[in-house]
Structure 1
Amino acid sequence: MNAFDRVEARLERDYVGEVEIPVDKLYGVNSIRGYQNLTASSLTVAHYPEFRDAFAQCKWAAALANLDSGVLGAAQSEAIVLACKDMTEGNCDDSLIVDLLEGSGGTSTNMNFNEVIANRAQQLMGHPAGSYDIVHPNDHVNCSQSTNDVYPAALKIATYSMLGGLITQVELLAREFDRKAEQFADVLHLGRTCLQDAQPMRLGQKFSGYASLTHRLAAELVNVRDKLRTLPLGGTAIGTGFGAPAAYRASVYQHLGDITGVEYLAPANSFDAMQNMDVFSRVSGELRTCVASLAKIASDLTLLSSGPVGGLGEIRLPEAQAGSSIMPGKVNPVLPMAMIQMSFAIIGNDVAVAQAVQYGELEINHFEPVVSSRVFDSITLLTKGIAQFREKCVAGLTADVERNKAHLTQSMAVATALVPELGYASVSKLARQSVAEGRSLLAIMEESGVMTQAEALEAIEKASRPVFDA
């Protein structure tokens, strides 16, 4: 038995025909048509609470603005507001049945919300669901609105909300890298370029670079998040505002700010706001940049922890789980690998968003559902993935101090540090001898009486200190 195979049902009719609706559900005929025709993914419009709440908040603000404008009665407005509050508490989720990825340009989504809110409002006023004699989905819940301004507004509000949690996780990761930079401040480390030995440095300096990058990623997410505060509400179908009272727009933004605690703004140009979704190219681009940058760090950690015998082994990652079903004792860098894999998914999502933004046509963009689906997926993956990466990997990683020092002192990288003391020609001659004999440069210098190992280490220590203010 599926959701529609109920003995008790009410009937609703549209131009296609009559449908039966279970009496314990709040959706209507438009929701069922969207469900029947456009279900492709496994997620409904209720899957992301932030999106559900954003739609309810738009309808809530609209009901109050319509009351202010005199186009909605006090009893109707109050019932719609109470129904919207009920929805934000998750009490209507089982009636929000339309696919998040529906292909009707958002109309099925908007009508699903309109019908559920109308029917819940009817019940709150003591009337049966489906009668719509007091609160109608189109005439009252959707009053002064269209799908074309409400859907993108809800999408922006939901994205703004979801980015708050992501920004918090990025900032927490940045502070964790700060702690590691301080923890490893005195650990001598072999710097590498093109995977070849390069110059002496401190392991803490490497992690300070990771910290600086991650702080910057958080700051850029904050910047792009702020761009989401401009909404197209009040533009109705194409930006003219036709269908809404003159005072509606100012009122709806005032009420929306009171409801959400965020100051949302009307656009400078309503036609631009309806036609274009370039802000989501920017949002998705920052998500892509964030995950690509963190994947680079994850790749570094994978290399630095490689081994334990045949690799670099300069850092140790927390042992999260067994790494093989056949090789006993093998432990893999699963958390960095997960971050890298996540980057593939989010970069793919960004391509989908770019395509959707590009293919809007004339007065609106009707590919908003795929933008919702992909942006919400990227934010969710990043928020959860970064938290896991920080808590289970970065926070517990340690340095093998002696192995770091050995790799540096046995490498050709120390040659650069000795040039100021001995001159390029002398160091170059000794370096070629080191390569030819396969022996440590420091050992050859001490044997030759050029410099003791203690003096060489002092020169290396000096070379690995920054020559500029931190």
Structure 2
Amino acid sequence: MQSNGLEASRVERDYLGEIGIPADKLFGINSLRGAENLTVSSLTIGHYPAFVTAFAQCKWAAALANSDVGKLTAAQASAIAAACEDLIAGRFRDSLIVDLLEGSGGTSTNMNFNEVIANRAAQHLGAAVGEYASVHPNDHVNASQSTNDVYPAALKIATRELLKPLAAEVSALADVFASKAAEFCDVLHLGRTCLQDAQPMTLGQLFGGYAALTRRAACALSDAGEMLLTLPLGGTAIGTGFGAPAGYRSAVYSHLAAITGTSFIPPADPFDAMQNMDVFSRVSGELRTYATSMAKVASDLTLLASGPVGGLGELRLPAVQAGSSIMPGKVNPVLPMAMIQIAFAVSGNDVSISSAVQYGQLEINHFEPVVADRLFDSITLLTNGTRLFREKCVAKIEADMVANEAHLLNSMALATALVPSLGYAHVSKLARRSVDEGRPLLEILEEGGILGREAALQLVRAAAQPVFYS
């Protein structure tokens, strides 16, 4: 509904009163219709502060740019900017009522922001809510924009901001793995392949591998954020820039840089920027890669801590809660299991995102809301999950040195360490005797005076040291 004059704005205001929009809310008819027709989940567009902030920043920069090119008065631009600052400060988010997963291709989302900002701007100018003569949602707040360029721009800005705390959490987890690697550097450990005894190593080497994996993931997530610097602002509906006056595009990026402190850039090809969302597939792919990598680590920890009597029992995980409602004393590896479960959810989100990216049609992708919903969910799950995993589990892991050493010395992995000093054929005979008699190899070595425990430990430690040839 357009309302360019005072009489039209009064009609619109009266109509909104008739359909029951609360007097203390700032949304309008388009927002209400979007909420009534498209609410399918429990989250609104006001749920994620980063998304609200990003949208408000885009509207703020657009208002200042429109003032520069003469599409808005200085008073209108100032009022819109003040309204955007209110949203960024956390005010009026209860007026952002449209479902994050709405199916209008983002139009309902954009109009919810337009209406809230317009009504708040009107208040800053001393006008009543719903009197759109001074600041209109479409004509002024949405000037030189369309849903098709402002929604993906806000989505990129918000995603980039959400990735920062995630990358920081992953980096912190890498630090804890590294500290555990140092702590366990002298703990002899039985290396296994295909769940079978393999070769000697140290427990510190195992955790060093986890640290390297996690550090690499932190770098990849940081790099993913840098892929989101190119925005489609100024392309308006399909990339032609129709509806945005000369000078607007350069002005909007300049103001956005001043507002956000980040130098976002226009695309090399505006049509590509409107048509394609492949960057979100890449970002989601990094989230899935990290999630599944941590699931592997979590599975390892669960296995190594299994028992304490009937399993490996080489690690002791912190006992954070009771593990059973019926079996007294049972403690489960709940934090590792939670990380594995998060990986399932993130992998499913990645399928949704890649499907949404694939099914964009022709000049735009109208499935941006599901990308936003699933992407924000993945980042939130991983940020929270990584913090809990680090603080409540990994930082408090203890090693059972006796169990680690016993498993190694009682295994055939000891035979591998003996080959350089005793020869393959001799060790093979001893190994076969160990299997035939059902006795540990070390026991046979000691009994025959071939090798004592301390000498065997020295050979095992030597075998556990990495050897690299350049």
Aligned partners of 2:101 and 2:369 also within 8 Å: yes
Q: Which moved more, 1:11-20 or 1:298-307?
A: 11-20
Cα displacement string for residues 224-255 of structure 1 (whole angstroms, at most 9, x for unaligned residues): 11000100000000000010012111111111
1:249 partner SS: helix
Q: Look up the match of 1:206.
A: 206
Aligned partners of 2:318 and 2:392 also within 8 Å: yes
Q: Look up the match of 2:54.
A: 54
Q: Look up the match of 1:444.
A: 444
Q: Please give the TM-score of this superposition, normalised by the length of structure 2.
A: 0.96
Q: Please give the TM-score of this superposition, normalised by the length of structure 1.
A: 0.96
Q: Look up the match of 2:338.
A: 338
Q: Partners of 1:65 and 1:91 in 2: how far apart?
A: 24
Percent identity, aligned pairs only? Answer: 69
Q: Partners of 2:346 and 2:17 in 1: how far apart?
A: 42
**Residue 299 of structure 1: how far off its partner (Å):** 0.3
Q: Look up the match of 2:308.
A: 308
2:246 partner SS: coil
Q: Which moved more, 1:259-268 or 1:171-180?
A: 259-268
Flag as ranges the 4+ runs of structure 1 deviating above 4 A.
Answer: 13-18
CA separation of 1:210/1:24 partners in 2, compared to 1, >3 Å: closer, same or farther?
same
2:467 partner SS: coil
Instruction: Please tell me the residue identity of whatever aligns with 1:144.
Output: S
Instruction: Please tell me the residue identity of whatever aligns with 2:43.
Output: L
**Pair 1:462-2:462 in alignment:** yes
Instruction: Please tell me the residue identity of whatever aligns with 1:77.
Output: A
Q: Partners of 2:18 and 2:34 in 1: how far apart?
A: 15
Q: Look up the match of 2:98.
A: 98
1:197 partner SS: strand
CA separation of 1:337/1:228 partners in 2, compared to 1, >3 Å: closer, same or farther?
same
Q: Partners of 1:399 and 1:468 in 2: how far apart?
A: 27
**Pair 1:394-2:394 in alignment:** yes
Q: Partners of 1:351 and 1:11 in 2: how far apart?
A: 46
Aligned partners of 2:13 and 2:130 also within 8 Å: no
Q: Partners of 1:398 and 1:185 in 2: how far apart?
A: 13
1:313 partner SS: coil
2:258 partner SS: helix
1:395 partner SS: helix
**Pair 1:22-2:19 in alignment:** no
Cα displacement string for residues 13-57 of structure 1 (whole angstroms, at most 9, x for unaligned residues): 899997332211100000001011000000000000000110000
The unaligned stretches of length 5 or more in structure 2 are 1-9
Aligned partners of 1:11 and 1:19 also within 8 Å: no
Cα displacement string for residues 305-336 of structure 1 (whole angstroms, at most 9, x for unaligned residues): 00111110001001100000000000000000
Q: Partners of 1:258 and 1:170 in 2: how far apart?
A: 29
Q: Partners of 1:18 and 1:148 in 2: how far apart?
A: 32
Q: CA RMSD in A?
A: 1.7
Instruction: Please tell me the residue identity of whatever aligns with 1:100.
Output: L
The unaligned stretches of length 5 or more in structure 1 are 1-9
Q: Which moved more, 1:164-173 or 1:12-21?
A: 12-21
1:406-445 alignment runs, 5 A limit: 406-445=406-445
CA separation of 1:281/1:387 partners in 2, compared to 1, >3 Å: closer, same or farther?
same
Aligned partners of 1:14 and 1:29 also within 8 Å: no
Q: Look up the match of 1:73.
A: 73
Q: Partners of 2:346 and 2:467 in 1: how far apart?
A: 38
2:21 partner SS: strand
Q: Look up the match of 2:221.
A: 221
Q: Partners of 1:282 and 1:124 in 2: how far apart?
A: 42
2:20 partner SS: strand
Aligned partners of 2:16 and 2:28 also within 8 Å: no
Instruction: Please tell me the residue identity of whatever aligns with 1:445.
Output: L
Instruction: Please tell me the residue identity of whatever aligns with 2:156.
Output: K
